[in-house]
């Protein structure tokens, strides 16, 4: 995937994760994109360990996998910082 695709998938995944787990997280659009891109790596790792395919391009499956990873990252962040998960 190209860098623009990673940014778009990251943006969508980060926004979806913040919609699914709303809260008082720091950062704006840049942090949202970074959470989404890092979530793509985490989601790809988790799905890969379960025997599936991870992020494969700019498609619905990749956005779902990246969103799963971003949700995991947000939950871990909130556990570490002591913020509520929901």
Residue pLDDT, tens place only, 30-69: 777 778 788 878 887 888 888 877 677 778 888 888 888 8
- pLDDT score for 84: 59
Q: In the chain, what are the domain boundaries? A: 3-81
With a cut of 60, say whether residue 86 has pLDDT above it.
no
Which of the pair, 15 or 2, is modelled with greater confidence? Answer: 15
- pLDDT score for 57: 72
Residue pLDDT, tens place only, 5-31: 777 888 888 888 888 887 776 667 777
For residue 86, the Cα-to-chain-centroid distance in whole angstroms is 17
Using CA atoms, how far residue 16 sits from 45, 46, 51, 52, 66, in Å, is 19, 18, 24, 21, 10
């Amino acid at each position: 995937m190209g860098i623009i695709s990673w940014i778009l998938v990251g943006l969508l995944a980060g926004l979806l994760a913040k919609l699914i787990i709303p809260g008082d997280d720091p950062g704006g659009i840049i942090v949202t994109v970074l959470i989404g891109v890092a979530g793509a790596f985490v989601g790809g790792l988790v799905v890969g360990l379960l025997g599936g395919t991870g992020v494969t391009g700019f498609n619905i499956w990749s956005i779902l996998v990246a969103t799963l990873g971003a949700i995991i990252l947000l939950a871990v962040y909130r556990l570490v910082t002591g913020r509520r998960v929901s």
